[in-house]
Amino acid sequence: MKSIVRSLIAAGWLASLAVQADSISLDQAVEMSLAADPRIKEREQVVAAARALVLEVRGNAGWRVSANAFVGLAPEVEGGFYQGGAFTCALPPCTPRSDGDKLDGISDWTHLDFALIKPLFTFGKIEHYGDAAQGNVEVKEGELKLTRADIVYDTKRAYYGYLASRDAHAFLQDIRTRVDEAITTVERDLKEENGEVRQSDLYALQTARGLIAKYVHQAHAIEKISLDGLRVLTGAGLKSDLTVTESRIEPVAFPATELAELQARALQGRAEMQQLESGLRARRALLAAKKADRLPDVYAGVIGQFNYASRRERLDNPYLNDPFNGGGLTPVVGVKWDSVFGVANARVDQAQAELEALNHKRAFAVAGIPFEVGEAYANAQANFDSQRDLAAAAAAARRWMVASLADFSAGIESADKVAEAIKNYALTQTEYLRTLNDYNLNVAQLARLTGELK
């Protein structure tokens, strides 16, 4: 039994890990994740598309051209305007030609018509649609910020989860190894019929081992999952030899800022609130644009047309127009009105309803975000206090286990009491590590809810 006592008393709860060249800190892991995650690149392209839409809307204020050109066929015409194909009338009466229904041949026909137009006044359509498009850009930028915040939180969750599960796995594995050694010693003493041990001692230790083994397997699974998640998030790859620089999980500093200030900071700097403000500006601009759609556009420009048929004689008469030969060009100032009143009014009503809906959403956010921050703050405070108490409890449980083992070796303590002390030490220590991990994540969540990227 003295060998059992020495083995269990000498149990350590951490295995030393060699730091490899590719070890990373939490800050490095976050930077790697932000650089590698495809979701950020996806959101950046969405923002780029929204910015291109702004340029498209503003481009409507510039020059626009419409043109149509084709090559076709036209009836061939030889000679002049008068009967017999004469170009001039020498002796009255001068009779115009009447053989237009007679097709002597065909000619190539080249046609071009175009319009070069610039809006002068649109009653605010372009300006309001431009403001709405710019608001959409800010909303998409907010989505990018939210994605970045999610990635930071996911990285911290994987990082802290790996540290906690690694520490728990090392601790529990070491305890299980020592219990295995103790069980082997007891089994040997039973075979040798050593009067210091009983069969019930073996059963008690085997029971403790089974419970500890369960938590060993669970900790090992979480350790592997967390490390694989960290490898994926940082872009290192599942087959990489990624390790972390921290030798054990430690509690992060509790936020020094008061709750009221954190709540105010969240209302001002959180990405969702910025999105709501941008969305409201965009909805107001869109409503104004829909109202302006019911009004005409004033424009100026140049329009023209050109026709040419190589096998038709040109008719130079200002009162007659040959659609196959000739052309013209003129500057214009005009008014264009294209509106279906029932449809335009319905679109205004729709834009108004969407604006009101967003106003109600903002009111809910103003009330809900401080509560959300307060909830995270309370959880962080509770787990901060809990992990301190559990640290003291784990130290006491270790002393309990050591004392029980010493009494057992002296023959004044039963094996079931020793097993109970071992189980309580294992459970208290693992609960401490779990609560410490929860606390660190509470602080990370609080930073996320208040709009802090890291």
Give me the chain's average pLDDT, please: 87
Q: Under CATH, which number does the domain 2-15+22-65+122-297+342-449 receive?
A: 1.20.1600.10
On whether the CB atoms of residues 140 and 47 are closer than 8 A, the answer is yes
Q: Say what the pLDDT of residue 79 is.
A: 81
The predicted model scores a pTM of 0.78
Going by C-alpha positions, the residue among 446, 423, 414, 369 that lies closest to residue 198 is 414
* Residue in 20, 86, 62 with CA at minimum distance from that of residue 301: 62
Which residue ranges in the chain fall short of pLDDT 50? 1-21
Structural domain boundaries in the chain: 2-15+22-65+122-297+342-449
> What is the tens place of the pLDDT at every residue in 86-118?
778 877 778 888 777 777 789 999 999 999 999
DSSP-based helix, strand, coil % in the chain, nearest 5? 65, 15, 25
Q: Which residues pair with 63 in a beta bridge?
A: none
Give pLDDT, residue 350.
93
Whole-number pLDDT of residue 1: 38
Q: Is 108 helix (H, G, I), strand (E, B) or coil?
A: strand
Looking at residue 95, its pLDDT comes to: 82
The pLDDT of residue 454 is: 56
- pLDDT for position 194: 64
Task: Provide Rg for the chain, Cα atoms.
Answer: 42
End-to-end Cα, the chain, rounded Å: 53
Task: Please tell me the distance from the alpha carbon of residue 8 to that of residue 2, in angstroms, as a whole number.
Answer: 10
Structural contact between residues 274 and 79, judged by C-beta atoms closer than 8 angstroms? no
Closest CA to 58 of 123, 141, 132, 117: 132
